[in-house]
Amino acid sequence: MNEKTDDNENLDKAQKNQRNIGAAKDDPHTTGPAENLREEAAEMVDVDESSNDPMSAENIKEHQPSAVKRDKNQGSTGDPV
C-alpha cells in the first residue's frame, strides 16, 4: 500500500510541475554527461577503425583475390577460355 501512495504522490507532483508545450526549446533541460553521448560514441568509432585489427575492412580488401576461377575452362573475367 505504501508503494501505491508513493506513486500517487509522484504523479501529483509531476502534474503540478508540468510545463507548457514548446517550453523546452527556450530552456532545454539536460541530464548532464549523457548529452554528449553521440559525440563520444563517434570518436570511439574513429579510434576503433584506425586500429591494426586484422579483420578490418581495409585489411580484408587487400587480401581478397581480384577474381575467382570457378571452372577450369573459365577465364578470370568469367568468359570461356
**pLDDT tens digits for 7-37?**
888 888 888 877 777 666 666 665 556 666 7
Give mean pLDDT, residues 39-44: 72
H/E segment holding residue 31: none
3-state secondary structure at position 74: strand
Q: How far is residue 81's CA from residue 69's CA, in Å, rounded to a whole number?
A: 11
The parent domain of residue 39 ranges over 5-62
Identify whether 29 is part of a domain. yes
Identify whether 80 is part of a domain. no
Identify whether 51 is part of a domain. yes
Give mean pLDDT, residues 55-69: 68
Residue with cell 500517487: 8
Out of 31-35, 38-42, 51-55, which region has the weakest mean confidence (pLDDT)? 31-35
Write out the three cell numbers for 19: 510545463
> From start to end of 20-77, where are the E strands?
none
Q: Which residues contact 8 (CB under 8 A, 6 or more apart)?
A: none
Domain count within the chain: 1
Q: What is the pLDDT of residue 81?
A: 56
The pLDDT mean for the chain works out to: 68
